[in-house]
Each structure stands twice: as C-alpha cells, then as structure tokens.
Chains A and B, each alone.
Chain A
Amino acid sequence: DSGVTQTPKHLITATGQRVTLRCSPRSGDLSVYWYQQSLDQGLQFLIQYYNGEERAKGNILERFSAQQFPDLHSELNLSSLELGDSALYFCASSVGTSADTQYFGPGTRLTVL
C-alpha cells in the first residue's frame, strides 16, 4: 500500500457524460499528479498540482480539468466523455515539486459505453 488512495475503483458511464475522480495523496505529500493509461499503452502524464496550484501540464484534453483542494486531495473532472476516454486513471503524489520518488494510487478504471 503506497498511502495514496483513489475513488472510485471502477466507473462505468455513457458517452457525453461527466465524471469526477478523486485522489488523496500520502500524508505530507504536497504534489499530486494525474496519469491516463489506455489498454496496452504507457502512462500519459496529464497534469500536476502542488499545494493547491497547477504546476505542470501534459497532454490533458480541454474536456478534462483538475483541481487540488486546501486539504490537498485532488479531483480530476472528465466531461463530454467519448469511447476513447476509457482507460485506467492513476494519481501519484510526491513530497515536493519535483516528480522524483512518486507514489502511485491503485487507479480508477473508467469504462465509457
């Protein structure tokens, strides 16, 4: 157990819908990272938040957004969902701004029908 929690574990929804994925970092970690992993694909970095502020942006679609709250948990919002958004979404956390020594959560499996 890495200490990073994610909810829900599984999510099944329909095209055009909107969902929210939640992540709680390890105690003491200030950075949260979001990744998308499609079937048989590598990890695609989406976005990083550090202490409530957006720190770095990867290949995140405009239909996706994220935020980090004062208690440091983070939410990833996915809207106007498409079939191709079906994937595993991981969050990870680290102590500082640098992405070294990241600890990953168990992931949320999103299925868009």
Chain B
Amino acid sequence: GENVEQHPSTLSVQEGDSAVIKCTYSDSASNYFPWYKQELGKRPQLIIDIRSNVGEKKDQRIAVTLNKTAKHFSLHITETQPEDSAVYFCAPLGLGWDKIIFGKGTRLHILP
C-alpha cells in the first residue's frame, strides 16, 4: 500500500524471451502481493499472487518473487507468447489498509 511504483512503464520483448516487471512499495505492513493482467478493453484479472510468508511462487510460465527487506516484488514471464501482450498491474496490500493502491501499470508488447 501507500506509495506503489512499477518499472518499466513499457516493455517490448521478442516472442519466446522472458519479461520481468518490478513493483516497489513503501508500506512495510504490506503482506499480500498480487499481479493483475488487463488485456485491451477487458477487465483486470488476477494472474498470480504471493503472501509475505513465501518468497517465490510459480504457475506454469509465470512466477512472482518477493523481497520484503527491499520492499519490492517482481512478475516473471518466461517463453513469452503473443497473448501475453497486455497491461500488468501490481497492488500490494497490508493489514489495516484503508485504501487500495494499484501501480500505474506496465504495458508489455510481445514482438513477433
């Protein structure tokens, strides 16, 4: 929660290569770290999440890693495919939160 930043804002990768998007946050009480994917004109969809008692979680080609000390977590997409083209948002949450803050999003382009 609080201040949330995503980097990069835009990312272009060749099909088949890997993509990494980083989310940094300021609220040390954050304990839930999700990534949402939003395709053009569609709703945001939760694609992977991690909680603060776990350092890494993997689901097929996507993974999320968490570094609580440094207050950042990252989305990793391997063997990228055209359907991975979308905007990705992070939205860390913590106990006692009173507002939800989404990162500004990362637009991922998969190049043929």
A residues contacting B by CB (< 8 A) are 2, 33, 41-45, 48, 56-59, 90, 98-107
What distance in Å separates the Cβ of B1 from its nearest Cβ neighbour in chain A?
10
Q: At the interface, yes or no: B104 with Cβ under 8 Å from chain A?
A: yes
Q: Between A and B, how many residue pairs show CB distances below 8 Å?
A: 52
Q: Mind listing 27 A-B residue pairs with CB under 8 Å? A: A2-B45, A33-B100, A42-B89, A42-B104, A42-B105, A43-B44, A43-B91, A44-B102, A45-B102, A48-B100, A56-B100, A57-B98, A57-B99, A59-B99, A90-B43, A90-B44, A99-B91, A99-B93, A100-B32, A100-B34, A101-B46, A101-B49, A102-B46, A104-B43, A104-B44, A106-B42, A107-B43
B44, A58: Cβ atoms closer than 8 Å: no
What distance in Å separates the Cβ of B86 from its nearest Cβ neighbour in chain A?
14
A58, B46: Cβ atoms closer than 8 Å: no
A interface footprint on B82-112 (CB within 8 Å = 1, 0 otherwise): 0000000101010001111111110000000
Complex contacts, B91 vs chain A, CB 8 Å: 43, 99
**Number of B interface residues in the complex (CB < 8 A):** 20
Please name the residue on chain A nearest to B107 by beta carbon: A40
Please name the residue on chain B nearest to A33 by beta carbon: B100
A102 to B97 CA separation, bound complex (whole angstroms)? 15
Q: A90-B44, A100-B93, A105-B43 are in contact. Are A45 and B49 (CB under 8 A)?
A: no
B99, A45: Cβ atoms closer than 8 Å: yes
Please name the residue on chain A nearest to B34 by beta carbon: A100
A45, B32: Cβ atoms closer than 8 Å: no
Please name the residue on chain A nearest to B100 by beta carbon: A45
B43, A98: Cβ atoms closer than 8 Å: no
